[in-house]
Amino acid sequence: MSGFVLSAILDKEAPLKALDALLLALIGIVIVFIVLIALMLLVSLVGKIFDGSEKLQAKHPEWGEKIAAFKAKMMFWKKSKPEEEQPEAEEAKQLAAGTCGELTLINCEERDAAMIMAIVADSLNTPLNELRFKSIKRVEE
């Protein structure tokens, strides 16, 4: 079997044989699956670690307080920003990442906003880059 693969790799000028291609295709698709399944397992693992730490914090609120106290202690060492800069920083927090600074999200997550914008573009049959959204606000029922 390895003879087929070798002929495909070594003889670069000759046409690829169907049998060589079949064997390479099998190896190739297996490799793609192995790499992506490895990524899937890693992504799941990282997700579980993060979910687990959140659950642990919910179970032991005193740990959360200790972490908050530690963070506050660390903040002491950081140089505080001038007061006049703070309102601007607050405003910047309201803006969605990646915008030109025009889209304001009010009680709305980026993920939901992205979905809303895509749906609007789809409904209007207009490319997303031709639409301008100024703000997206969650309406409380």
Backbone φ and ψ for 48, nearest 5 degrees, come out as -65, -40
Applying CB under 8 A, does 122 fall inside the site for other proteins?
yes
- Nearest distance, CB of residue 58 and other proteins, angstroms: 14
Applying CB under 8 A, does 31 fall inside the site for other proteins?
yes
Q: Which of 58, 119, 124, 131 binds other proteins (CB under 8 A)?
A: 119
Q: How many CA atoms lie within 13 A of 74 on its CB side?
A: 6
Please state, in angstroms and rounded to a whole number, the distance separating the CA atoms of residues 95 and 91. 7
Could you give the angle at the alpha carbon of 30 between the alpha carbons of 27 and 36, nearest 5°?
140
Applying CB under 8 A, does 50 fall inside the site for other proteins?
yes
Q: Which of 1, 3, 15, 80 binds other proteins (CB under 8 A)?
A: 15
Please state, in angstroms and rounded to a whole number, the distance separating the CA atoms of residues 116 and 85. 32
Residues forming the site for other proteins (CB under 8 A): 5, 8-9, 12-18, 20-22, 24-29, 31-33, 35-44, 46-47, 50-51, 97-98, 100, 110-111, 114-115, 118-119, 122
